[in-house]
Amino acid sequence: MSTTCICKVCGAAEDTWDHALLHCTMSKCVWALMDNDLAELIATTNIKDPKDWLFYMLDVLKPGDRTKLLVSCWAIWRARRRVLHDEFYESPLTRMHFIKSYLADMDLINIPLCLQDKKHLTYPKVPVWMPPPEDCVKINVDAAISRWGNKGAVGAVCHTVSGEFVAASAMVWEGLSDSATLEALGCNEGLAIAMGCNMSEVCIASDCLEVIRSISKKPRCQYLAVLNDIEARRKHFAKVEFRHENQACNFDAHNLAKFASTLQEGCYLWFSNPPCNMNRNVNVDSNK
């Protein structure tokens, strides 16, 4: 038993139930990766009694979100116990992957018996990665804004044409929350990774159509300076293609940017080994 009320995970003065599950740095990083509506409700609900808090949340949430809330709280509590008793730390992305996998297993178990015939079942599409042109590396980029709107982040993930991981980076800025500017900075960061890896032919993919169009047209906009940097950098390559793709094909960069928005301002790099919970090889779309 602990002899002090100080949180041994983040050092807060009082380790209450709501601090442990909702407000501890370790917990906030997990909630930041949740759906916006659920995370905002958790951040703005201030009920001190645990029973009242739980009844209120179960009353206002949809059935699917109720399950997600309970499983997430359990996963956070489990992770805290491992830190306190086993000194075992895991990344927020790893915890989020555990939560999603557990929820997926629950959904599979709850399929009614009358629907077990395969012809009646619809299976969720597995996110697929769109390969680049031959002899190019592919760099997926995306941007995210922190839950409280005080930070902006971008993530860039580089793969070979066969889908093998090469490198990844994330950039975090305090006070930057304009989404279009961040998306443009993400494209610029993608070129920076390619230069750092000595690549000559590059395909940059983003889910922001506005920025992809602006890179070619260079209109007067608040991120024009970033577009000029992109234009200057692309001259160092034999070939650069900027491509718009939907978010379903941009999953690694999206998750990395969202995770980075919980980190401190700065630059984060991964070479050879991908960030925690990111697969070394992606699921390549065989139709392309």
Which pLDDT score is estimated for 37?
81
Classify residue 267: in a domain, yes or no: yes
Residue 244 and residue 167 share a domain: yes
Instruction: Give the DSSP letter of residue 113.
Output: G
| Domain CATH code at residue 207 | 3.30.420.10
Residue 262 domain boundaries: 137-271
Shared-domain flag, residues 147 and 61: no
The pLDDT score that the predictor gives to residue 278 is 76
Residue 116: what pLDDT? Answer: 47
For residue 7, being part of any structural domain is answered with: no
Is 179 inside any structural domain? yes
Tell me if 79 sits within 8 A of 85, measured CB to CB. no
Q: Which residues contact 16 (CB under 8 A, 6 or more apart)?
A: none
Same domain for 258 and 147 = yes
* Pair 152, 238 in one domain: yes
- When divided into structural domains, the chain yields a total of 2
Whether 216 maps to a domain, the answer reads yes
Find the DSSP H helices in 17-161.
Answer: 17-18, 25-31, 36-44, 50-60, 63-86, 92-109
Q: Are residues 141 and 261 in the same domain?
A: yes
Report, as ranges of residue numbers, the positions in the chain whose pLDDT lies below 70: 1-3, 108-127, 276-277, 283-288
Beta strands across the sheet bearing 239-244: 239-244, 201-206, 137-145, 151-159, 165-174, 266-271
Closest to 250 measured CA to CA, from 153, 84, 127: 127
154 and 231 co-located in one domain = yes
pLDDT at 111: 52
User: CB of 192 within 8 A of CB of 170?
Assistant: no
* 239 is a domain residue: yes
3 within domain boundaries? no
CA–CA distances in Å: residue 55 to residues 50, 69, 201: 9, 12, 56
Three-class SS of residue 204?
A: strand
Q: Would residue 127 count as lying in a domain?
A: no
226 vs 221: CA distance, rounded Å: 10
180 lies in the same domain as 234: yes
The DSSP-derived string for 216-251 is HH--S-TTHHHHHHHHHHHTTSSEEEEEE--GGG-H
In the chain, the N- to C-terminal Cα span, in Å, equals 58
Query: Could you tell me if residue 288 is inside a domain?
Result: no
Residue showing tokens 């160092």: 236
pLDDT at 115: 45
- Can you say whether the dihedral through the CA atoms of 13, 15, 17, 20 is positive or negative? positive
Interstrand relation of 239-244 and 201-206 (parallel, antiparallel or unpaired) = parallel
Is residue 160 packed enough to be buried (19+ CB in 10 Å), middle (13-18) or exposed (0-12)? middle
Residues 110 and 26 grouped into a single domain: yes
The answer to whether residues 190 and 267 belong to one domain is yes
The answer to whether residues 99 and 180 belong to one domain is: no
Q: Are residues 144 and 28 in the same domain?
A: no
Residues 148 and 237 both lie in one domain: yes
